[in-house]
Amino acid sequence: MADTTRRSTGIAGLDLALGGGFPPGARIVVSGSPLSGLDLMAQQFWQTGNATGAYLMIDAVPGEKMIDARGMDAAALAGAVQGERVVVDSLSSLIAAWGIDAAVKFVVEDTREAVEGGATIVYLLYSDLHTPREEARVMRAAEIFISLRHQVHGNEFERTLAIEKLRDGNVPSRVIPYNILAKGIELSTTSRVV
């Protein structure tokens, strides 16, 4: 039976794979290319339910109800981490601007009060921008690490989601295909038998 205290990701198939959604008081890192839909996944999580939360936009002009976090220092950014559902878009920008040590300190220490208060924080990490050492440090700081991957085969995209780390839980043993639709990401919850 799924833990009813978990927070829906906004994606039914992902909730199923995670045993009900993201746990409160967790640091989640979602990794992928800019074309993988990781920003859509983050927005689906942020906009699900009636929960409060902040979407901290560091990379671009913020959308409606998002917080313009461009140029914020660590203290201001940590102060903006408010509510139950928080998205930091993106951790890659913090690593580029502050360096890996300060970015990991932000994830682990500067936001500790919000996490201990029950906030679920999703950090976006753009793949192929960081060294393996930086990616390993980010992965160690997270309770959940999800990778979104896409490949082009001829004239078709193949997109898969992998839950690579799930602290205190069983990591699913397969990748899950997904599609990007106008409303966001949709996961396939069926397995194909060959």
Domain assignment present for residue 165? The answer is yes
Pairing of strands 176-181, 184-187: antiparallel
Predicted local confidence at residue 1, as pLDDT: 37
Domain assignment present for residue 54? The answer is yes
Tokens of 22: 């993201």
Contact (CB, 8 A) for 173 and 55: no
Contact (CB, 8 A) for 10 and 184: yes
Which of 14-23, 132-141, 182-191: highest mean pLDDT? 132-141
Residue closest to 137 by CA, chosen among 172, 105, 162, 112: 105
Tokens of 76: 């201001």
The mean pLDDT of 9-30, rounded to a whole number, is 93
- Burial level of 174, CB count in 10 A (0-12/13-18/19+)? exposed
Domain assignment present for residue 191? The answer is no
Describe the crossing of helices 91-98 and 132-141 by its angle, rounded to 10 degrees.
120
Pairing of strands 85-89, 53-57: parallel
Predicted local confidence at residue 194, as pLDDT: 45
Residue 39 has pLDDT above 90, yes or no: yes
Tokens of 81: 């981490």
pLDDT in tens, 62-87: 999 999 999 999 999 999 999 999 99
Q: What CATH number is attached to the domain comprising 27?
A: 3.40.50.300
Contact (CB, 8 A) for 55 and 87: yes
Task: Count how many domains the chain has.
Answer: 1
Domain assignment present for residue 187? The answer is no
The mean pLDDT of 47-76, rounded to a whole number, is 93
Residue 139 neighbours by CB distance under 10 Å: 15
Predicted local confidence at residue 156, as pLDDT: 87
Q: Which domain holds residue 34?
A: 12-145+161-170
Model confidence, pTM: 0.92
Domain assignment present for residue 98? The answer is yes
Domain assignment present for residue 80? The answer is yes
Q: Strand runs (DSSP E) across the chain, as ranges?
A: 27-32, 53-57, 67-68, 85-89, 120-126, 144-153, 156-166, 176-181, 184-187
Domain assignment present for residue 182? The answer is no
Residue 121 has pLDDT above 60, yes or no: yes
Predicted local confidence at residue 168, as pLDDT: 82
Contact (CB, 8 A) for 92 and 60: no
Contact (CB, 8 A) for 124 and 90: yes
CA atoms of 65 and 40, how far apart (whole Å): 15
The mean pLDDT of 99-111, rounded to a whole number, is 97
Tokens of 103: 């970015």
Task: Please tell me which residue, 96 or 192, carries the higher pLDDT value.
Answer: 96
Domain assignment present for residue 150? The answer is no
